[in-house]
Amino acid sequence: MNERSYSPTDNVLICLNDALETLFASKTAERRYPGKNVPEGELSNSQQRHSARLMRVNHVGEVCAQALYQSQAITARDPATREQMRQSADEEKEHLAWCEKRIHELGGRKSLLNPLWYAGSFAVGTAAGIAGDKWNLGFVAETENQVVNHLEDHLGKLPENDFRSRKVLDQMKQDESQHAEQAREAGAAELPNPVKQWMKRASRIMTRTAYWV
């Protein structure tokens, strides 16, 4: 069966629907919430606020991941690459739901700048897609590698008794590693070091801002 061809108008409507769903719709996940059967650790008020802010940062990362994958799926040239991007976006929606649930459990809130994070990431993903599929995949692989490092850093910053958040981040880290490997197996190009450094600087700005706003 041939893949359906979408018109520019179709793509615009798809993008708008994806953005509204990511930013405003209630999230559900097919897989069980990793923290479901994990006891809630005893946290002080300051520890609880700290955990909620860290999970807010992780939620922002998943908002950005949705924007990246959705924009890259639209600009991908190869149908197989396009399908891989869409599948990864669907899998990342579970992370979005898990982070949102954990934020609520901790009494926190999502970032007020989520529309800005989404728009910026969508623009970056579109540029990567236009550059060609091997660079598109290379951007995914490097993004996921940096996300794995970021999650590892957060696991070290979480209060020791925040068992549920740790379980969520552990599962997310496994999934992100798998996405990076899938991108490499599909033919991802190695990004130039200046691009990798730019991505790290942009990520630091995002994480530091989202922790507070």
Q: pLDDT tens across 24-41, in order?
A: 877 677 789 999 899 999
Angle at the Cα of 120 from the Cα atoms of 135 and 132, rounded to 5 degrees? 15
Whether the per-residue pLDDT at 103 is higher than 90: the answer is yes
Token pair listed for 98: 């898990």
pLDDT bin (cut points 50, 70, 90) of residue 192 is very high
Q: Provide CB contacts within 8 A for 35, sequence distance 6+.
A: 98, 101, 102, 105, 163, 164, 165, 167, 168
172 is a domain residue: yes
Burial 144-166 (b: 16+ CB within 10 A, else e): bbbbbebbeebeeebbebbbbbb
Q: Which residue has the tokens 């379980």?
A: 167
d(Cα 164, Cα 41) in Å, to the nearest integer? 8
% of the chain at pLDDT higher than 70: 94
Least confident of 6-15, 102-111, 190-199: 6-15
pLDDT at residue 21, as a whole number: 82
Domain count, the chain: 1
197: helix, coil or strand?
helix
Burial 8-35 (b: 16+ CB within 10 A, else e): eeeeeeebeebbeebbeeebebeeebbb
CATH number for 73: 1.20.1260.10
Q: Which residues constitute the domain of residue 93? A: 48-212
5 is a domain residue: no
9 is a domain residue: no
23 is a domain residue: no
> Dihedrals φ, ψ of 96, to 5°?
-60, -45
87 is a domain residue: yes
Calculate mean pLDDT across residues 72-92. 81
Token pair listed for 93: 């929606």
Least confident of 1-10, 105-114, 178-187: 1-10
Most confident range (mean pLDDT) of 18-22, 69-73, 80-84, 154-158 is 154-158
141 is a domain residue: yes
Q: Provide CB contacts within 8 A for 202, sequence distance 6+.
A: none
* pTM (2 d.p.): 0.90
123 is a domain residue: yes
Calculate mean pLDDT across residues 116-132. 89
14 is a domain residue: no
